[in-house]
Chains A and B, each alone.
Chain A
Amino acid sequence: MSSYRIHGATGEWEVVIGLEVHAQVVSNAKLFSGAATEFGAEPNQQVSLVDAAMPGMLPVLNEECVRQAVRTGMALNAQINAWSRFDRKNYFYPDLPQGYQISQLYHPIVGEGVIEVLLDDKDESTAKQIGIERIHLEQDAGKMLHDQHPSYSYVDLNRSGVALMEIVSKPDMRSPEEAGAYVRKLRSILRYVGSCDGNMEQGSMRADVNVSVRKPGQPFGTRTETKNVNSVRFIMAAIEYEANRQVEVLEEGGTVVQETRLFDPDKGETRSLRSKEEAHDYRYFPDPDLLPVELSDAFLDECRETLPELPDAKRHRYEQELGLSAYNASVLTADVTTARWFEELLAATGKAGPEIGKAASNWVISDLFGALNRLGRDITDSPVSPKQGADLLGLVADGTLSGTLAKQVFEIMLETGQDPGRIVEERGLKQTSDTGAIDKVIAEIMAANEDKVAEYRGGKDKLFGFFVGQTMKAMAGKANPQVVNELLKKALG
């Protein structure tokens, strides 16, 4: 489907991409200890004896983290492994107090699944299935601080032991855009499920990017792995750079070395960190401090029952039940907070189906998003509540406000936070359908523009808009446009 190609001197090259996304699990406590997981605490303030690997300390699995991983797997239509196990991955580094990371190599908790991505929001035919290889649970490491002392490095163990889900894709992506769409979709699903906040700036989500190139139709080439890339933009840039670098190497007669690389966001390039020969021997083996994880049917049922409606299902429902365009449905369902806001708004209108869906979606996407964009705010701290939005839409629907008046009222709502009903009441912004008043204004306008009346009557239909504008202006925008239209038609004959 993707026709993304790198045009080299020797012809076209196809790019093959797989991603390992590390997603921090939303939970109050760490994967194997009771320490807190909040972001932004002072260094080493969220460290238990277990996290600091004091002698004789033992891990105890946090069931909430298991629940989140299972729910995530279910949301990705993945195989849930009722029996899984933790392994130790052994290596020395000061940010790893135990000298091993507890992870799941041999028996991950979630097996194969699939994510559908749309390359174009407006077009279902651009859908592509990206395979999920597995999801496993593992501990995060601490953080090194190199800028605290001229000759020593410090370590902050707040992150040490925090639960991560490693979500491994199959090598199914073929362009930076597909990879970007995959990460955005994955992030969207995780946020719907509530298993990861998806906050890439705070490091709650980061990706190891596997890239190789090949001539179309040839077997996979040798891949490189670029570690810890922490934004969608950087992931796409890293792929683009790395793919072009590999093509260059190959076309100059060289070979791609299987290695770990780092992405430098300032220079927009990747560089070698360590080669396969320098790779650690992690000596994985089953962690003898932990029992295998066995999931009961009751637990699995509970996980399934707590899954929310997911973005794909929601998008289809918005199109079918609410009559939204593919684009509107896609925009409103991409992020769970938007969808929730939209649904609260719908509920507050007391109406259902296309009767309200179209108007509400258009208002949210053009008026509300426009305003939030201007204010530099997120929908979670919108100055207008869903209830207030619903009231505004209600005033338009019952003819109290015209479109123009509604925009005025909305601006005042943004500034003051007041309810639209009160604004209309206090400022007299109510639309009028008083035919007497409107007729009077029309008569005055026709009297003042006799030439134009004659032209109109002589066949210049376009002038109708002029009379509408003049009438609305004279009515200070408060006249019901439909009534104005009717009365004008009658008067102009």
Chain B
Amino acid sequence: MSNLTDLSIAAIRDGVRDGSFTAREVAEGFIANVEKGRSLNAYVVETPEHALAAADAADQARTSDDLKPLSGVPIGMKDLFATKGVQTTAGSNMLGGFKPVYESTVSRKLWDAGAGMLGKLNMDEFAMGSSNETSAYGPVISPWRRNDGGNAPLAPGGSSGGSASAVAARLCPGATGTDTGGSIRQPAAFVGISGIKPTYGRCSRWGVVAFASSLDQAGPMARDVRDCAIMLEAMSGFDPKDSTSLDMPVPNWEAALSSDIRGKRIGIPREYRIDGIPEEIGRVWDEGIERMRDAGAEIVEVSLPHTKYALPTYYIIAPAEASSNLARYDGVRYGLRGTSDGGIDGMYQATRHDGFGSEVKRRIMIGTYVLSAGFYDAYFNQAQKVRALIARDFERVFNEVDLILTPTAPSAAFALGDKSSDPLAMYLNDVFAVPASLAGLPAMSVPAGLDGQGLPLGLQLIGRPFDEQGVLNAGLALEERSGFTHRPKAWW
């Protein structure tokens, strides 16, 4: 039954329901894959007992005809989600050994829907990074390799790098991710899978270790669009414990999935054609445009004039919020406590010196700077204004079109170490992802083709607020027409 781990979430769910196989067989297959795939460093904690218990519950539920939407489906959980009694570190030394006494709303909803947990997935420290190299547990390695015969280990993207690598390598059929400025979409594109960041507020942030509160949003990463729809349905919903949570019913996205996008107007923003990005990115984008046209959509060139300010705006707002959100890691109540002779200030310094990695420190310093007296207006306040302009760009364009199609990232996966010493080059990887984050819009990456070195490239669909359905449907149309069936050859 080794091919059970090649099945989609929908196929696993249906197979368990039909009795084609048991949930336990599925869980055991993935647990074996997790063990075999340890060299990818995707999981920081393995929880086979959790996955097996959920599987047994699913098999039991089948006999009493009491199956839930995700019964029999084991998933991976990004380590940013607090999981009760299971170590939750956000990829940081600061939270080494931290076991929450509470369960995040999103993970709680997934368990309530019948899913099981294979383990906690590696990630960039506090979700700050685009390559998974800032993790205190070391980088995750992408299962993909270039077709040039070399075996340079590649980055899976970030910050949800563990989720990306695990899904692509069949160490789980689907995983949770979080996306602050592209952390679901960029890694999904890097490893040839799908991932959706829903409208800001769709998924509760309660129990998700905070990076930048006004941007952070959870979402699923899976091998196809349907699986994303299934998982997103289970993860979404109003939560009175999160004041920014959307008080709206959750649509039946899976049931309404349709690749019929005839008559849809799809915008192509001219500002996303930027200099200095590989020609292949443009080629895959053009192919995507043709496929959408082929599917009956109307292609419209649009303008989002403030796009070029999105990246600097993001790199002011996100660090500003982070510098405040991460102030609670002071060594007083939980997590790491540094030792020092210097009284309380010395203890703070030692704790934060030892607990945070260099990228986190860099962002705390940037954030502290842009909020400080004398610089607040020039940086933070200005960035807030520009953010409003960026959102207005989208609002205006969405009067004319239903969706926007862009590349997900300006490059294919790069080798580990390639950009880790150049933060600006690393930040540039988010250039296509951050505008939708700043505007709080639903956005999805779907695999669209391979580059010359045999590495996956993704395309991004951005929709109106609350129109996850439109995004998913267009994603499905693209998926069907791209016929992307590539998968990494197992070398691990």
Contact = CB atoms under 8 A, between A and B. Distances in A.
A55 B205 contact: no
A59 interface: yes
B334 A54 contact: yes
Contacts of B213: 288-289
A53 interface: yes
Q: Which 9 A-B pairs have the closest CB atoms?
A: A99-B327, A283-B371, A288-B214, A288-B213, A53-B328, A56-B207, A55-B209, A281-B373, A56-B82
Contacts of A100: 324, 327
A52 B333 contact: yes
A55 B208 CA distance: 7
Given A49-B102, A94-B330, A290 B243 contact: yes
A155 interface: yes
A97 B345 CA distance: 15
Contact of B328 (A97, A285, A289): A97
Contacts of A52: 333
Interface in B353-398: 368, 371-373, 376, 380
Contacts of B294: none
Given A55-B82, A55-B209, A155-B332, A99 B324 contact: yes
B95 interface: yes
In this complex, which of B82, B333, B348 has the most chain A Cβ atoms within 10 angstroms of its Cβ?
Answer: B333
Nearest to B372: A281
A285 B380 contact: yes
Interface string A402-419: 000000000000000000
In this complex, which of A57, A60, A155, A284 has the most chain B Cβ atoms within 10 angstroms of its Cβ?
Answer: A57
Nearest to B369: A283
B346 interface: no
A61 interface: yes
Interface in A246-290: 281, 283-285, 288-290
B202 to A, nearest CB: 15
A285 B243 contact: no
Contact of B330 (A59, A90, A92): A92
B420 interface: no
A155 B320 CA distance: 28
B205 A56 contact: yes
A98 B214 contact: no
A245 to B, nearest CB: 29
A478 interface: no
B interface secondary structure, majority: loop
B100 interface: yes
A58 B100 contact: no
B369 to A, nearest CB: 9
Nearest to A99: B327
A58 B243 contact: yes
A interface secondary structure, majority: loop
5 contacts: A55-B328, A56-B82, A58-B241, A90-B323, A90-B327
Contacts of A281: 372-373
A375 interface: no
Contact of B324 (A54, A285, A290): A285
Contacts of A88: 324
A57 B206 contact: yes
Contacts of A283: 323-324, 368, 371-373, 376
A53 B321 CA distance: 15
Contact of B244 (A153, A155, A291): A291
Interface in B65-82: 81-82
B131 interface: no
B98 A61 contact: no
Contacts of A290: 243-244
Given A53-B328, A98-B328, A99-B324, A285 B371 contact: yes
Nearest to A91: B327
A90 B364 CA distance: 13
A88 B333 CA distance: 21
A285 B320 contact: yes
A105 to B, nearest CB: 11
Interface in A52-91: 52-61, 88, 90
A60 B242 CA distance: 7
Contacts of B32: none
